[in-house]
Chains A and B, each alone.
Chain A
Amino acid sequence: MRKVLSTALSAALLSVLSAVGSAYEVITVTNGGTVQGVVKLVGQAPTVPPIKTTKNQDYCGNSIDNPLYVVGKDGGLKNVEVFLKGIEKGKANPTATITLLNTHCMFDPRVQGSSTGQQIKIASDDPILHNTHPQNNDTNATIYNIALPFKGFSVTKPLPATPELIRVKCDAHEWMRAWIWEFDHPYYATTDADGHFEIKDVPPGTYTVVAWHEVMGQKDASATVAAGKPVTVDFSFTPKK
């Protein structure tokens, strides 16, 4: 019994402490700097066979390109989430609603960032049933599971109260996958088709910049931001053979 109580107590304490430790403070940022750069894939992208669709082929087709490695100009890698890890103060979080579209039997976008307090519009362009089922990437715990039974249907839902990496599936079409990084701050960007990213209005200081790719994992770099200036941080990922 004592043990149960003390574990419960220390768990409660820990959660209070971590809540305090991670509180992001909003300040006025004038003349902030910019963290920018390119994420590249080194060498040849692994050949990934196309996704073989196993249901609704009349609408989805028999196969779909697998978007695990999307490489553009000069090896630029798309769909990498880049963020300032643990930044404690800066500009206010965005309030706009983010969107996740079910289209042609895939999610769009594949990867995006978001801030706590934002809402998400989940929509479908497809004339078949999808269900959008976000889960905590670490625990698999269901965040919610919403049916999108027909074309043109959409719902707007809040994101989870605390930041987490969210993996989204559609149970009805098991190949569908999306990733939503949720942060307690607004300093993140997803790389574009050429691997570029840009994080603006950063208060001067030294930060850990993290780049995350869904298959190749995470890399860190350190960046010192000066007022009103850009600092370039490039990343390269080498796929496992």
Chain B
Amino acid sequence: MKRLSIVASAFVALALAAPARAQGPGSGGDPVKGKVVYERYCLSCHGELGNGAGEFAEWITTKPRDYRQGTFKWRSTPSGSLPTDADLDKTIRDGIYGTFMPTWYAIGEHNRRDVIAYIKTFSARWKTDKPQPSIVIPAEPPYSDASVKRGRAVYEKSNCAQCHGQDALGDGPSAHELKDDWGNPIVPYDLTQGHIKCGDTGSDIYRVFITGLNGTPMPSFTDSISPEEAWDLVHYIQSLSALYPKNYGPAAAK
């Protein structure tokens, strides 16, 4: 009976918390408070004007994001779309591996929500445009040698090698002379390194080549790679380094 009432009160608590949670991570922040957070933690790189030209920017490659165009690389939304608040929260919470963009897990969800609201004031695009719906990522099938092998075939058929190279070392024929939207040189990722920049799980890798990275040469393959092929391709990429976490089938699913 006591058990029941605890469960019941947990339900009530959940229901009470629901209005705030309905917004989801990163949503509903206050830009006024966000400005304070920004000035404390972000300004030195992303700049007072949000143009990516803070005082450290000179010493950094890849350059800090210029927020004025409303262009963001890591999204669950289709090519060209704005990211969702949850996408921004994930990027800011986890950081961007191998770059100067650190993880901001430590500032907490509230501060992240506010700073996201503030970042949006730098681009008029947030007033006139909305993020498109997130892509649907089907459940991950088990990692297996057969899947890796099929994934290699998808890599070849999709010509990823044009930029990433035959052996995925980031050295394809088009790897040189690439530029991002801000005119800075950019190189295709060396996929054998074992960590991609923004998340290592299967679905993190999946969304990169299905939605593409806005502002960069990395295109969206959503129209040419089916969901089954996409998971095989994820497994192929994960097979390239022992450092990628792998899904060894149902047994490994904790």
Q: Which residues of A contact B (CB under 8 A)?
A: 1, 4, 8, 11-12, 15, 54-56, 128-129, 131, 133, 135, 139-150, 153, 155, 161-162, 171-174
Establish whether residues B79 and A171, one from each chain, have CB atoms under 8 Å apart when the complex forms. no
Establish whether residues A145 and B218, one from each chain, have CB atoms under 8 Å apart when the complex forms. yes
Measured CA separation A140–B159 after assembly (Å): 26
Establish whether residues B70 and A141, one from each chain, have CB atoms under 8 Å apart when the complex forms. yes
- Residues in A with CB closer than 8 Å to B214 are 142, 145
Q: Given contacts A129-B159, A145-B218, are A153 and B35 in contact (CB under 8 A)?
A: no
In-complex Cβ contact of B69 among A54, A140, A148 (8 A): A140
Establish whether residues B124 and A11, one from each chain, have CB atoms under 8 Å apart when the complex forms. yes
Establish whether residues B121 and A147, one from each chain, have CB atoms under 8 Å apart when the complex forms. no
Query: Which of A15, A55, A141, A145 gathers most chain B CB within 10 Å?
Result: A145
Establish whether residues B159 and A142, one from each chain, have CB atoms under 8 Å apart when the complex forms. no
In the assembled complex, 24 residue pairs joining A and B whose CB atoms fall closer than 8 Å, in A order, are: A4-B31, A4-B35, A55-B173, A128-B162, A129-B158, A141-B70, A141-B71, A141-B215, A142-B79, A144-B78, A144-B80, A144-B220, A145-B216, A146-B219, A146-B223, A147-B158, A147-B212, A150-B157, A150-B159, A162-B128, A171-B163, A171-B219, A173-B174, A174-B178
Establish whether residues B80 and A143, one from each chain, have CB atoms under 8 Å apart when the complex forms. yes
Establish whether residues B162 and A140, one from each chain, have CB atoms under 8 Å apart when the complex forms. no
- Residues in A with CB closer than 8 Å to B173 are 55-56
Establish whether residues A145 and B80, one from each chain, have CB atoms under 8 Å apart when the complex forms. yes
Is B32's beta carbon under 8 Å from chain A? yes
Establish whether residues A131 and B80, one from each chain, have CB atoms under 8 Å apart when the complex forms. no
Establish whether residues A171 and B121, one from each chain, have CB atoms under 8 Å apart when the complex forms. no
Measured CA separation A207–B164 after assembly (Å): 51
- Chain B interface main SS type: loop
Establish whether residues A149 and B217, one from each chain, have CB atoms under 8 Å apart when the complex forms. no
Measured CA separation A207–B178 after assembly (Å): 42
Establish whether residues B127 and A140, one from each chain, have CB atoms under 8 Å apart when the complex forms. no
Interface of chain B residues 156 through 189 with chain A (CB within 8 A): 157-159, 162-163, 173-174, 176-179, 181-183
Is B100's beta carbon under 8 Å from chain A? no
- Residues in B with CB closer than 8 Å to A12 are 127
Measured CA separation A147–B211 after assembly (Å): 10
Chain A minimum-CB-distance residue to B156: A149
- Residues in A with CB closer than 8 Å to B70 are 141
Measured CA separation A153–B221 after assembly (Å): 11
Please count how many residues in chain B sit with their CB below 8 Å of the partner chain's CB atoms: 39
Count A-B pairs with CB separation below 8 Å.
99
Establish whether residues B181 and A142, one from each chain, have CB atoms under 8 Å apart when the complex forms. yes
Establish whether residues A141 and B181, one from each chain, have CB atoms under 8 Å apart when the complex forms. yes
Please give the distance in Å from A51's CB to the nearest CB on chain B.
13
What 4 A-B pairs come out closest when comparing CB atoms?
A: A171-B217, A144-B80, A129-B159, A147-B219
- Residues in A with CB closer than 8 Å to B158 are 129, 147, 149-150
Measured CA separation A147–B124 after assembly (Å): 28
Q: Given contacts A131-B219, A135-B181, are A172 and B35 in contact (CB under 8 A)?
A: no
Establish whether residues B157 and A146, one from each chain, have CB atoms under 8 Å apart when the complex forms. no
Measured CA separation A111–B215 after assembly (Å): 23
Chain A minimum-CB-distance residue to B123: A141
Is B61's beta carbon under 8 Å from chain A? no
Q: Given contacts A141-B69, A172-B162, are A149 and B157 in contact (CB under 8 A)?
A: yes
Measured CA separation A46–B170 after assembly (Å): 38
Q: Given contacts A15-B127, A131-B217, A149-B221, are A54 and B177 in contact (CB under 8 A)?
A: yes
- Residues in B with CB closer than 8 Å to A162 are 128
Measured CA separation A155–B223 after assembly (Å): 7
Please give the distance in Å from B129's CB to the nearest CB on chain A.
8
Establish whether residues B174 and A171, one from each chain, have CB atoms under 8 Å apart when the complex forms. yes
Please give the distance in Å from B77's CB to the nearest CB on chain A.
11
Establish whether residues B162 and A11, one from each chain, have CB atoms under 8 Å apart when the complex forms. no
Q: Given contacts A8-B121, A131-B219, are A171 and B181 in contact (CB under 8 A)?
A: no
Measured CA separation A131–B222 after assembly (Å): 13
Please give the distance in Å from A64's CB to the nearest CB on chain B.
16
Chain B minimum-CB-distance residue to A158: B80
- Residues in B with CB closer than 8 Å to A141 are 69-71, 181, 215
Chain A minimum-CB-distance residue to B188: A171
- Residues in A with CB closer than 8 Å to B99 are none
Measured CA separation A129–B172 after assembly (Å): 12
